[in-house]
Structure 1
């Protein structure tokens, strides 16, 4: 398991004659530790076309200092990066755990050395009353090399420790008064590589799609947007979420698999509900691939849900679920390294970069969206009506739940344009979805408990399983019986 660390820091460029200013009197700072000098040597790894650098990601193997080893840094917000570390290992072999976390970006391309940095670092730690490090200031003399080109510069890094964010700003203010200036690049590697790093066109396209809708809807006076633009902005947001939660899901972070799966489902649902907006020749093949990815993630998520529901179950049930969950995670991580997954990501990027907008998509969103949202809601209503007449009511309930998700996501996509009315539909469809989800979860839990009951020969365990089964049955029946009341409280579209 890679060690994780959230790094919050600001970087400043400084001239060779720059003198570190006095740092006394800063909020909460009681003293400064004696300066420490380290000699650091780092080799940076990336693909031949610098895909990691294009996404603001750095991967290095560093010797020297107090944290020698492999370091992977991924953006985590303004002035923040999630840093994951691994032992030094072999010089040219990237640890599999770290290379896997960036697989969505490298997509099978080899990670190889692209640059080296030698840094003479002088560290000053500002301490609080209890002796903890509030902030660490690193004065770096850097020599970077790419191929035969060598560059030297001086840089000041201010990294937040246990101090408040205000302290980071206060130190920065002192440095700027002393002649330093905020660095143009967020990383040493970025500065060294310069224009060799080409910003990702896919990232730029996703940002542009979302910015267009934000500008058009911020005050009601923006440009008129087309249906295709609204759909693309929604799709762009979901693709962004897939990339955001991909490494978190691989690490097993809380709720990451669930949120990545939801983004995949939203993509698939939007492509179905708004199939008239984008050319089917491009979008229809994405359906089975998105369904496959949702199933891969769903195997893990289903085990997570059962484990959380069965907190009071006998130990053998929990242990079995934990084994299943670990196995599901291994299969998920293997699937997320497959060419099939990389090909899907390529197509999602292409969808936003080169959107196949139809004539319907070129029409004004405010005129087209009401009909498209209504169509999704009508489909849900038809499935709901089948519950009373179907030979298999549970199957009809399952179909209604899926239709409720599609209606919810269809209305969610339209919220920036249709406003309050679309928000109400989102809320109503979500209530239907959650009631049916409660019933479905109860049925699945009952099936699992029944199977566990057949495996045990210990009366006390069988009794506990029976109690849990009875509770799940009651909750499932309560959710089922609540459905008509919940449905009667929905008004449907009134565009």
Structure 2
């Protein structure tokens, strides 16, 4: 079996050794049950000394026997679903974790080494459930498991265990089949599994990675809201780290957003934080965003210029403009991505992730953070609104058509984005009031974003035009594209004026 990735939906049941396996042909959605296949499976599970993967609900194993021998990485997806990534064993029969799998959990394990933590031997009887046309709807496994902890991992009271369990995994059937089969299994004497996986049962009692949740109303404390927000976006950052490493097109963009949201939260909450503890983290999040910026900026600009150029009359496109733009920006994206990946494998990034874990576990907040969330969030939002108003006044004070004005637009964009993120964080607590503020701030941010994109585009077009000229090419089209970007900036300024007037009319009195 070669490399593959698929989502699996399954449920597990604990069952006694003497319990009789039921006749699943009696399940209404099942037309027939295949003859059982007898399998003997041997699996060694890998994790860090602190069992970081297991605590995050991730399993990584090397399994022999059966029809899917190889390396298996299982990642939680929510509910009964998990994503399973499979790699073949390899010709050398090595027990070294494949780089392709290690990369997908690097944000969890960081630079901590992986080692064997458990060995499981399973005797399996596997039944295929068929529909009326013979297609497999699901498989049901009757497993007898013998587990052994390795290297002192897990609960000392569970060094070795034996148990029996039943497992139902969907193939081509609908999720309602899980309910129907589960009911039949429970009637036979099974009960929903106490452990989410064989590994968790083998390791014994194991605390999950702490992920606090907020009350969701103004009755909860501000401390709860911030801790839950940091946890949510740290999990998202780890997921987007995986997306970057596996080459997903939007991975860098989404990883950058996760970092920005975390940094923005630490900025908004600064009056309630021990800044000696949080400012270094905020600056490291800024560093991470800057590390990702070159690749993302090149990606955005390449897509935008390709679209603009495609809309130009053929007679106004002089020379190999499309090729030059595509070659230069594709190379810039590649170099930026390579540099980002290098940094994501470095100790600086791993220590940032460690610091985020510490903030989630124990946010360094002042006593004011124990006030009701609604009271604190309103105060913080008013503060961010004032910051945005000051930034807009700087735009109005700057000379028109000046670099100073472009910088002022960019600063206002950052303040609008910070306000938007803060309002979105407050929405579960403040409801429609925060949602309306977030929507208004987003509209202001987007107009300012178009303006900033045009500034970046003009800088790159000027560089590319000069390079084309020096190479003996006709640079006319680069000048035309530059002029179009100037027009785009002017249009964005007009859109910003409208969005800001609407923001002032709709939000300022409400939040004064």
Query: TM tier, shorter chain?
Result: 0.7 to 0.9
1:113 alignment partner, one of 116, 120, 125: 116
Question: Taking structure 1 as reference, are residues 485 and 57 closer, same or farther at Cα in structure 2, changes over 3 Å only?
Answer: same
CA deviation vs aligned residue, 1:1-39 (integer Å, no higher than 9, x gap): 963211111111233333332233646544444432322
Question: 8 Å contact 2:48–2:109 — kept in the other structure?
Answer: yes
1:360-414 per-residue CA deviation (whole Å, 9 max, x = no partner) reads 3344444443333222112211211222332421111111101111222233333
**Equivalent residue for 1:21?**
22
Say whether residues 1:145 and 2:153 are aligned partners: no
Mapped partners of 1:461, 1:116: distance in 2: 68
- Report if aligned partners of 2:119, 2:150 keep a CA contact under 8 Å in 1: no
Asked if 1:328 is matched to 2:336, the reply is yes
Number of the residue aligned with 1:171: 181
Cα pair 1:307 1:318 within 8 Å, conserved: yes
Report the 3-state secondary structure (helix = DSSP H, G, I; strand = E; otherwise coil) of the residue aligned with 2:145. Answer: strand
| 2:225 maps to which of 208, 219, 230 | 230
The 2-side partners of 1:463 and 1:12 are apart by 71
Confirm or deny that 1:289 pairs with 2:287: no
Partner SS state of residue 162, structure 1:
coil
Mean alpha-carbon deviation: is it higher for 164-173 or for 331-340? 331-340
Q: Note the C-alpha offset of 1:310.
A: 4.7
- The yes-or-no answer on 1:421 pairing with 2:426 is no
Which of 377, 384, 397 pairs up with 1:389? 397
Deviates more, 1:422-431 or 1:320-329: 320-329
- The within-5 A match list for 1:303-382 is 303-312=298-307, 314=322, 317-318=325-326, 320-382=328-390
Q: Deviations over 1:278-303 (max 9, x none)?
A: 11111111121010111223333323
CA contact (8 A) 2:423 2:435 kept: yes
Residue 195 of structure 2 aligns to a residue whose secondary structure is coil
Counterpart residue number, 1:192: 202
1:180 lines up with 2:190 in the alignment: yes
Give the deviation of 1:484 after TM superposition: 0.8
User: Is the 1:61–1:91 contact (alpha carbons within 8 Å) kept by the matching residues of 2?
Assistant: no
Q: Deviations over 1:239-264 (max 9, x none)?
A: 23223333233223353433332222
Flag the 1:100–1:461 CA change in 2: closer, same or farther, 3 A.
farther
Which residue of 1 is the match for residue 4 of structure 2?
3
> Does residue 55 in structure 1 map to residue 63 in structure 2?
no
Deviation at 1:111, TM superposition (A): 0.3
Distance apart, 1:194 and its partner CA: 0.9
Kindly report the root-mean-square deviation, in angstroms, between the aligned alpha carbons of the 2 structures. Answer: 2.9
CA displacement at 1:427 relative to structure 2: 1.3
CA distance in 2, matches of 1:131, 1:470: 65
Cα deviations across residues 319-338 of structure 1 (Å, max 9, x unaligned)?
55444434433332332222
Deviation of 1:471 after TM superposition, in Å, equals: 5.4
Q: Structure 1 stretch 282-291 or stretch 147-156: which is displaced more?
A: 147-156
Alignment of 1:156-167 (within 5 A): 156-167=166-177
TM-score w.r.t. structure 1 length? 0.87
Number of the residue aligned with 2:97 = 94
**How many angstroms apart in 1 are the aligned matches of 2:415 and 2:78?**
35
Aligned to 1:67: 68
Cα 1:88–1:303, aligned 2, differ >3 Å: closer, same or farther? farther
